[in-house]
Amino acid sequence: MLNQKREFIKLSLLNFFLFFFFKFNLKANEITRTKVLTNLIFFKHIISPDHPEKPDRIKYILNNLKKTKNSSLLEIVDTNRDVEKWIREIHFENHIKSLRDNHSLAEEVSRYAVKVCLTGVDKIMRKESKNIFCAVRPPGHHALNTGKDEGFCYYNHVAITAKYIQKKFKLKKILIVDWDYHHGNSTEHFFYNDPTVLFFSTHDQFAYPGTGSPKRKGNGKGLGFNINVHLPCKTKDEQIIKVFDQILVPKAHKFKPDFILISAGFDSRINDTLGCFDLSDDCFRKLTKILKNLSKLYCDNRILSILEGGYNLTGNANATIAHINELNNLN
């Protein structure tokens, strides 16, 4: 009888140990995983039936994700959080009012994109995930304060998110990397004098919006913190990877970012309908790997990636999945 009690106690202790071992290991594994955040509201905004910035951009990404081993990464963000304060960190009241009055649905959807991005930051800062991809639309990196859309953009999600990180979580230095085919003129504009935000953009400066000259390096205290790299049509993988390795990486080592934001525009992929670069899906994996390595060194793996352009539906989805897969790669 005594031996039976001893065996029972041993078995109970073993079960107790195994329960907590697997519980904490599963939790630790969850923390390392990427999350893909979205919401069904992004299917509502339609500019016109044949417009390239369409709901199918998100639909194709989600359909492709469901076919991969990483389908469990998807999370629908359902939140009523108020983001007005944070939008006003970047956008003027008259711009917000004009959008509400004249583009009410687009404003609502763009506002929800901000909600998704800020929710993503919260999840990273709570260590629920080391990095996150926000499958949102419309894009944002052209949005100025003109009271209308600029290049399909209404609010600059990445700029708002940068301000949120700095003011809410007191992380000072933000690296924003924009690999969209089109220059992120709005992001440049809002941080052109700011030494706490390093903005790095690869693009075709002769495409819309006609900005992004390498001569524009920042102003005042922000001088040297705005890096524009013009790339010509037919740019191949090795060319942009070389630019990242030789220009971005040394500058990032000197800057030592506390958080990395990506304006992930996949219209720089080969065969995009609004771009002329020849970048492969694997190129975006390699660019993502470069940024992951920087995040490991300086900011505890913190990366939030936000969808910008990308208008070949199949190509955009394939490149996005390559990007997500590398974000989720533990190596």
| Residue pair 21/81 in contact by the 8 Å Cβ criterion | no
Q: What are the structure tokens assigned to 68, written together?
A: 């991969």
| Residue pair 133/327 in contact by the 8 Å Cβ criterion | yes
Please state the φ and ψ torsions of residue 76, each to the nearest 5 degrees.
Answer: -85, 120
The position carrying tokens 């080391």 is: 130
**182 carries an active-site annotation:** no
Q: What are the structure tokens assigned to 268, written together?
A: 């720089």
The position carrying tokens 């639909």 is: 59
| Residue pair 100/3 in contact by the 8 Å Cβ criterion | no
List 45, 91, 95, 142, catalytic entry: 142
> With left for phi above 0 and alpha for psi between -120 and 50, is residue 224 left, alpha or beta?
left
The position carrying tokens 């693009």 is: 203
Catalytic residues: 142
